[in-house]
Amino acid sequence: MARIKVMVVDDSAVVRQVVAGMLAHDADIEIVAAVADPILAMSRMALAWPDVIVLDIEMPRMDGITFLKKIMAERPTPVIICSTLTEKGTQTSMAALAAGAVAVITKPKIGLKQFLQDATEDLASAIKAAARANVRKLQVVEKNTADVILQAAPDRHGGAMLQTTERVVALGTSTGGTQALEAVLTRLPRVCPGIVIVQHMPEKFTAEFANRLNSLCEIEVREGKTNDRVVPGRAIIAPGGAHMLLRRSGAQYSVEIMNGPLVNRHRPSVDVLFRSVAKCAGANALGVIMTGMGDDGAVGLAEMRKAGARTLGQNEDSCVVYGMPKEAMKRGGVEREVPLGAIAREILNFGT
């Protein structure tokens, strides 16, 4: 029987070393990676997906619960939480189990190395049990398309949308996107076209993210509110927990923030934004799909391209996770792939 491929995700070098070292002696288990945070984990998972993940909760760049939810939404995989925050019956333990973890192991705050050595047999047993778990049965969230928010545009083939001098750039991204967006937006001068952005991010985090970018960028960056104008020198980020759509009145563009079902298991959804841009802007728009896991945005980018928009995908070498751009390429939505460092220049060229 094939060995169980296990990935350990923990920011403690001691945990990674001890757990990997102890489990290496089990003939049924193969440690395929031991990494310090979920962003690194996703880079490795893009190359080879593990059978079981042993996951900490407190980590830099992305916490374990957020990562767990992302895994279960995109590709359900048995996950064992191993954390100091998960005393039996605590809110964190309940949150982990509710998000799809198959088991929770509590690490002590002191005597960690000895505990891990003593608990190796228990952890190995938990991994073997987890590998047999059918985690897909935990998934009760239907994967809706953008149809639940708005219908696709009529088939114009790019010809019927009245062009204006107002240009709109739509960016969609997920895992690795916070760093990627910073790299793009900090390179833009205030004369750039108006930008609308979906970054998969939990509710209440997007306002802080937008404020941080606003402090770093020459352009204005804000979390979106209904009726916010899309104007040159301004980037609007969809708020976590809500969809954002582009609206048009004459030659002017604005955004609408609305509730609604998850689309591609996300809210905000890139597909929702891109579809609205296809309907409202057509050839006046540039669509860019960037680093991220899953396929959100792939259909919407293809609709933008059919409506006459220019479209770009971030290339594989510069992506943290080459998932969303890859799926968009498969569906014919990507006109060209470019490295992350070239996206700002492409936006400026589109605006001139």
Residues classed as catalytic: 174, 200, 296
**CA-based nearest residue to 130, from 76, 51, 72, 15:** 51
Q: Among all chains, which residue has been given the structure tokens 């400026």?
A: 348
Q: Among all chains, which residue has been given the structure tokens 């955004």?
A: 255
- CA distance readout (Å), 276 to 93, 202, 221, 234, 242: 39, 22, 21, 19, 15
Rounded-to-integer distance, Cα 288 and Cα 140, Å: 31
Neighbours of 87 (CB within 10 A): 12
Rounded-to-integer distance, Cα 181 and Cα 344, Å: 10
Through-space distance between the first and last CA atoms of the chain, rounded to whole angstroms: 60
Distance of CA 159 to the CA centre of its chain: 33
- CA distance readout (Å), 174 to 169, 202, 270, 307: 17, 11, 9, 24
Q: Is the peptide bond before 268 cis (omega within 30 degrees of 0)?
A: yes
**Dihedral pair phi/psi, residue 288, rounded to 5°:** -130, 120
